[in-house]
A and B are shown apart, each in its own frame.
Chain A
């Protein structure tokens, strides 16, 4: 696992049914592109987050594929309609096979 990886999510704790809310997510990750060389001239192997998804009660909200040109600490901000109370599950997939998860519960009313 890459060091210093920490997912963060900012989502409202409650919303009206059908309300469109703004979700902000950020994961601290160095996003090593695989193009850089270390001081000895050896290529530093690629190590990035390659996929990010958000599901609401099992239904997919957003599914993003990431590539090496994306800079360090990738940040996503998006809008989602909240139809009912439930759990919002965020998942980041690392090149090294690690999976980072975060869940936020949104109440309605």
Chain B
């Protein structure tokens, strides 16, 4: 009985700490002008999850970290956006073309990030932004592919994302993408690793709670690519997925794999209605 008494005591101590956690109600306005929707009514397909409000990961971070995203000068992710502008204008490959040769100014990419991953009819597959960028590099520019979750790709994704900042995420979940979306959903709820955790274990059933020192968010990806203070660089969605699955002590899928593309589509669709926020700042 002594053991039981101790357990009760431990629970009582732990309770007040948990009550302090939870998302805040701050408002995110970038540069004093771009209003970001960081809380939105959950999309219809999430009815069975019991979540009625989807929230950007921004709400789960400390005030100091939040502030870094409110001004582009303070946002370290914008350094990589600047670098990507140089890459955008730089002709590479056998065709002597740059991104700008076909797409003119990066501002022509407005609205693109909001709808990716999306179905590509010609290729007959679901494409992420990174796949599309590499397709352009190989087939239009005659250049080498970029590493899927590497620095060049993350920076270019940031440049493309920033054009859509403030626009609502709106990825398709039915039609030709339906099968891939279902596969992504399956993966989201599949437990992996020695710790036997699925995405849902943390980000659906326990968001707002602390997992040791980390404040669990809903795992939304509207803010990607994300500048993380812990590694001082931009992080792509797939690199984040890999990190999460590794943390369950499982062998992970590779960035750019069909499994991660499917998962990205499903997770993105859970954020339909939130604003595109990338490049965001997280810890």
Contact = CB atoms under 8 A, between A and B. Distances in A.
Interface of A: 4, 6, 8, 10, 24, 26, 28, 71-73
Shortest 7 CB-CB contacts between residues of A and residues of B: A10-B73, A28-B79, A24-B73, A72-B232, A73-B79, A6-B82, A4-B83
Interface of B is mostly: loop
A8 B74 CA distance: 11
B76 interface: yes
Interface of A is mostly: strand
16 contacts: A4-B83, A6-B79, A6-B82, A8-B73, A10-B73, A24-B73, A24-B74, A26-B73, A26-B79, A28-B79, A28-B82, A28-B83, A71-B232, A72-B232, A73-B76, A73-B79
Contacts of B79: 6, 26, 28, 73
A79 B239 CA distance: 39
Nearest to B83: A4
Given A6-B82, A24-B73, A28-B83, 13 more contacts: A4-B83, A6-B79, A8-B73, A10-B73, A24-B74, A26-B73, A26-B79, A28-B79, A28-B82, A71-B232, A72-B232, A73-B76, A73-B79
Interface residues on B, range: under 10
Contacts of A28: 79, 82-83
Contacts of B76: 73
A31 to B, nearest CB: 10
Nearest to A27: B79
A73 B83 CA distance: 13
Contacts of A71: 232
Nearest to A6: B82
Contacts of B74: 24
B282 to A, nearest CB: 17
Nearest to A71: B232
A6 B81 CA distance: 12
Contacts of B73: 8, 10, 24, 26
A60 to B, nearest CB: 24
Contacts of A4: 83
A28 B83 CA distance: 10
A35 B230 CA distance: 20
B7 to A, nearest CB: 44
B128 to A, nearest CB: 26
Nearest to A4: B83
A87 B135 CA distance: 47
Contacts of A73: 76, 79
